[in-house]
Amino acid sequence: MDVLSGPVAGVFRAPDVDYHAFAPELVLVAVLVAVLVVDLVLEGRGRRLVGGLAGIGLLAAMVPVLTLAVDGANRSMVGGAYVVDDFALVFKGLFLIAGYVTMLLSSDYLADDDYYEGEYYFLLLSSVLGMMVMASSRDLISIFVALELLSIPAYMLAGWRKRDLKGNEATLKYYLLGVFATGVMLYGMSLIFGITGETVLTEIGSKLQGPGASLPLVSLGIVFVIVGFAFKISAVPFHSWAPDTYEGAPTPITAFLSVASKAGGFVALMQLVFIGFLGRDDVWQPMFWVLAALTMTVGNLIALRQTNIVRMLAYSSVAQAGYMLLPFAVAGDLAKGPGAAMGPMTTYLLIYAAMNLGAFALVLAVARKTRSGEIASYGGLFEYAPGLTVLMSIFVFALAGIPPLGGWYGKLVVFKTLLDANTPWAIVLGVIAAVNSVIALYYYASVAREMWMRPVPDGDTTPVRVPAGLTAALSLCAVATVVIGVYPQVVARFGDLAVFSLLP
Amino acid sequence: MSELLRAYLTVVVFLAAAGMLVGVSLGMGRLLRPKRPSAQKAMTYESGVDPVGSIFGQSQVRYYIFALLFVMFDVEAVFIFPWALGLEVYGVFGLVEMTIFIVILALGLLYAWRKGVLRWV
Amino acid sequence: MVAQNIAFGVLAAATSLAAIRVVTTRNVVHAALYLVVVLASVGALYILLTAEFVAAVQILVYVGAIVVLLLFGVMLTKATLGEDDQLDNDQRWLGAVIALFLLGTLSFVLVDAFGDDKLPSLEGVSRATLEAQRGSGAVGDAIFSTFLVPFEVVSVLLLAALVGAIVLARRD
């Protein structure tokens, strides 16, 4: 009874490994191993060195991403399970930059208190690696493993403040709901695999085009998979973890979760829906319609009542996910084919990344002086920190979608997609989105009113000292937000690139 | 029944034999022994010392880390089996891939060792 | 085929009963031990389906490692090891209704999709033919070709999980 029997020689052929295509991931693996080893050797004495190494590593991984982009070829490897195309590269770039900005935000935050630094950077890099892999994964197992790699370090990082009860609550809620959602998603994947017998998305896509694909089993599988990722992007009703986790986690990690982790979820959804489930828009389109409408409305309405800036931004980022879901809800009705919905989503995600990272960077900067997360503590910020006030105004009005700041262009392309679809359902959704934009303006503007018009609550007007890393992050995000608003072509180009080559 | 499953019949037979061994010996004992329970007899046997307190003591977090290390290398073993069976088929390519896999995992052991979580004092 | 069906019936019943006990027992340690029965029976079901490697992994990883981890986790907590009335909450009826609904839905869709399918009979099929059909060492071949990337990523994943767990669990 030999349980394991060996393979037959001659059947197996080693896959051709395209090292250029894997280069960004390989660089990142090398850096994260180096970070761990250096931290072990120096035993916490080289804190600055480890942080610098991690930052340089993220930038170094950007180099092969750029050379691959210049090269421009679509590289499909290991039987179509791993693909490096323009879509993957655009998102790999986004993840690396978001990771780098998080690193900039973290360095002073970590130095202020007695946190484990080496491990922090190691886990952050691991999570970024998971996202990089996710952007190229075109098969169910790769997507699952990438999702785990981007999530598990994030669960740990959310609870990095070990002695803080809110930090414990943050990590526990995030972890328990996260693994539950992953379980649901895996069940869905197993149903899809059971009916198609394939894990590679292109194969699943072609099997789900035929008449046999209309089984209820397939529909249920698709619903389960989407529910799993709806948790990741904190879409209502799977958002309940987000405010508590965002509030309890270290603020740089909150920024990372709200931008990079969310983008990771969207990347996975786009790959699954637009390649694997393309033929079943009768299932996912209504589902996304409901998710988008609920996410925008609930997120914005609850954000209105928040008094803590981090919780407000948490609900705002829930609502923003709703806008990003809009193109999904009409993708099947687009004249140019469902692929036309991908550009607007990518565009919105890129813009959202710049403005939301900026907003959290500012929260960090202000909290260095006020030690408070209450919106009321922003009173009279203009009197002692005019620069920060202007920046925060830029970020909140960009999030609200006021031209000429970045956000308006994201909203524009998304609304344009709804109009292109031109179905009654799309118009209704457009009206809901428009109403929501007005609601959102109210709470974004209330932050600005607090900063510009209210008096300083405790009368302390010593200037805020902003360290170099934070300044760099703030200027990066502010420049991106303003430039995108004035020259939206910059980001529109990326949006156009990020369409799968195989789509109509 | 197929050849494959017939092979597993051995397992079932042994399982049944093991169950019978326990059942028969305990059953015989119950039939033969006199039955005079007392508080002394019901007490847990602690090498002649009277047990004190509750059976539950909160255990140290060290156990957990050891169990976690065990899970990690257990999973590693699962991946090594299929590779070991086809060692020649997968050749240098397989060797390189497996080496990367094992080295990265071994870093975990290195980390645990350097951080002193393996010390048992 | 008859023997297989009987074996399946016994195993399925054992799995289901033990699974029900996992969630109904008031003793956490008993729940973990019932889980062993569930996981081992599922492993046996894999053998009935001729998936021997998966069965071996099931026993090795789940019964061997995960349950141990679970028990250590229980021992770490301050909860008492005996019966605990506080394991239930007021929403258990709601939970039961949803669970039954889910059971009904899943049973329906699974029967709808696979109800008429029959597993190929293994009567008289020799081990060699079986392996030739399945492709011997299919697991290894898949790991080193299609699933090469997830395979390598798993090592980083396990490393990250260990490092994170040590940081969070350490006393300092």
Percent of chain C with pLDDT over 70: 84
Q: Which helix (H) or strand (E) holds A7?
A: none
Q: Which residues of A touch C159 (CB under 8 A)?
A: 36, 126
CA-nearest residue to C127 within chain A is A1
Return the HEC string of A365-419.
HHHHHHCCCEHHHHCCHHHHCHHHHHHHHHHHHHHHCCCCCCHHHHHHHHHHHHH
Q: Which of B6, B107, B110 to mutate to test the interface with A (most CBs of A within 10 A)?
A: B107
CA-nearest residue to B85 within chain A is A6
Chain A residues 45-84 with CB within 8 Å of chain C = 78-79, 81-82
Q: What is the ipTM of this complex?
A: 0.91
> What does the pLDDT read at residue A280?
86
Q: Which of B10, B15, B64 to mutate to test the interface with C (most CBs of C within 10 A)?
A: B64
CA-nearest residue to B114 within chain A is A40
With CB atoms and an 8 Å threshold, state whether B107 touches A4.
no
What span, in angstroms and rounded, lies between the C-alpha atoms of A464 and A451? 14
| pLDDT tens, N- to C-terminus, chain A (504 residues) | 344 455 655 567 777 788 899 999 999 999 999 999 998 888 767 777 888 899 999 999 999 999 998 887 888 888 888 999 889 999 999 999 999 999 999 988 887 777 788 899 999 999 999 999 999 999 999 999 999 999 999 999 999 888 889 999 999 999 999 999 999 999 999 999 988 888 999 999 888 887 777 888 999 999 999 999 999 999 989 999 999 999 999 999 999 999 999 999 999 999 999 998 988 888 999 999 999 999 999 999 999 999 999 999 999 999 999 999 999 999 888 888 888 888 899 999 999 999 999 999 999 999 888 888 888 888 888 888 889 999 999 999 999 988 888 889 999 999 999 999 889 999 999 999 999 999 999 999 999 998 888 888 877 778 888 888 899 999 999 999 999 988 888 888 888 877 776 554
pLDDT surpassing 70 at residue C79: no
Please give the residue that has the higher pLDDT: either A43 or C20.
C20
Which of A380-384, A425-429, C102-106, C128-132 is predicted with the least confidence, judged by mean pLDDT? Answer: C128-132
Task: Point out the residue among A7, A14, A40 whose CB comes nearest to the CB of B114.
Answer: A40
Task: Point out the residue among A5, A8, A12 whose CB comes nearest to the CB of B90.
Answer: A12
Q: Which two tokens stand for residue C115?
A: 């109800």
CA-nearest residue to A2 within chain C is C52
CB B2 within 8 A of CB C120: no
- Delineate the domains of chain B, giving CATH numbers in brackets: 56-121 (1.20.58.1610)
Ramachandran angles phi, psi of A372, nearest 5°: -145, 150
With CB atoms and an 8 Å threshold, state whether A7 touches C136.
yes
Chain C residues 68-97 with CB within 8 Å of chain B = 68-69, 72-73, 75-78, 80-82
Q: Which of B9, B75, B96, B121 to mutate to test the interface with C (most CBs of C within 10 A)?
A: B75
Q: Which residues of C touch A4 (CB under 8 A)?
A: 52-53, 56
C170 touches chain B (CB under 8 A): yes
3-class SS of residue A139: strand
b/e sequence A130-147, b meaning 16+ C-beta within 10 Å: bbbbbbbbbbbbbbbbbb
pLDDT surpassing 90 at residue B116: no
> What does the pLDDT read at residue A2?
44
With CB atoms and an 8 Å threshold, state whether C158 touches B108.
yes
What span, in angstroms and rounded, lies between the C-alpha atoms of A134 and A157? 20
With CB atoms and an 8 Å threshold, state whether B105 touches C127.
no
Global model pTM greater than 0.90: yes
What ranges do the domains of chain A cover? Answer: 280-504
Residues of C with CB under 8 A from a CB of A: 52-53, 55-56, 105-106, 108-110, 112-114, 131, 135-138, 140-141, 144-150, 153-154, 156-157, 159-161, 163-165, 167-168
A212 touches chain C (CB under 8 A): no
Q: Which residues of B touch A3 (CB under 8 A)?
A: none
Q: Which of C108, C148, C154, C171 to mutate to test the interface with A (most CBs of A within 10 A)?
A: C148
Cα A55–Cα A60–Cα A63 angle in degrees, nearest 5: 140
Q: Which of B68, B87, B110 to mutate to test the interface with C (most CBs of C within 10 A)?
A: B68
State the chains in contact with B (3 or more Cβ–Cβ pairs under 8 Å). A, C
CA-nearest residue to A32 within chain B is B104
Q: Which two tokens stand for residue C137?
A: 């060492």
Please give the residue that has the higher pLDDT: either A14 or C162.
C162
With CB atoms and an 8 Å threshold, state whether C157 touches A3.
no
> What does the pLDDT read at residue B102?
94
Would you call the peptide bond into A404 cis, given omega within 30 degrees of 0 as the criterion? Answer: yes
What span, in angstroms and rounded, lies between the C-alpha atoms of A502 and B6? 49
CA-nearest residue to A12 within chain B is B89
State the nearest Cα–Cα gap between A485 and chain C, in angstroms: 38
Query: Residues C38-77: pLDDT tens digits?
Result: 999 999 999 888 888 889 899 999 998 999 988 888 888 7
CA-nearest residue to C51 within chain A is A3
Average model confidence (pLDDT) for chain C?
85
Q: How far is CA C17 from CA A80, C11, C35, in A?
A: 42, 10, 11
With CB atoms and an 8 Å threshold, state whether C167 touches A11.
no
Q: Is the dihedral of CA A324, A325, A329, A334 positive or negative?
A: positive
With CB atoms and an 8 Å threshold, state whether B4 touches C162.
no
Task: Point out the residue among B58, B75, B82 whose CB comes nearest to the CB of C76.
Answer: B58
Q: Which residues of C touch B15 (CB under 8 A)?
A: none
Which of A197-201, B18-22, B116-120 is predicted with the least confidence, judged by mean pLDDT? Answer: B116-120
Task: Point out the residue among C136, C150, C160 whose CB comes nearest to the CB of A123.
Answer: C160
With CB atoms and an 8 Å threshold, state whether A14 touches B10.
no
pLDDT surpassing 90 at residue B38: no
Task: Point out the residue among C56, C69, C155 whose CB comes nearest to the CB of B71.
Answer: C69
> What does the pLDDT read at residue A47?
73
At residue A334, what is the residue type? L
3-class SS of residue A137: strand
- The CATH topology of domain C1-81 is Four Helix Bundle (Hemerythrin (Met), subunit A) (1.20.120)
With CB atoms and an 8 Å threshold, state whether C140 touches B70.
no
Q: Which residues of A touch B78 (CB under 8 A)?
A: none
State the chains in contact with C (3 or more Cβ–Cβ pairs under 8 Å). A, B
Chain C residues 14-73 with CB within 8 Å of chain B = 47-48, 50, 53, 56-57, 60-61, 64-66, 68-69, 72-73
A11 touches chain C (CB under 8 A): yes
* H and E: helices and strands count for chain A: 20, 2
At residue A380, what is the residue type? G
State the nearest Cα–Cα gap between A77 and chain C, in angstroms: 8
Q: Which residues of C touch B117 (CB under 8 A)?
A: 166, 170
What ranges do the domains of chain C cover? Answer: 1-81
Average model confidence (pLDDT) for chain B?
86
Return the HEC string of chain C.
CHHHHHHHHHHHHHHHHHHHHHHHCCCHHHHHHHHHHHHHHHHHHHHHCCCHHHHHHHHHHHHHHHHHHHHHHHHHCCCCCCCCHHHCCCCHHHHHHHHHHHHHHHHHHHHHHHCCCCCCCCCCCCHHHHHHHHCCCHHHHHHCCCCHHHHHHHHHHHHHHHHHHHHHHCCC
pLDDT band at B98 (very low <50, low <70, confident <90, very high): very high
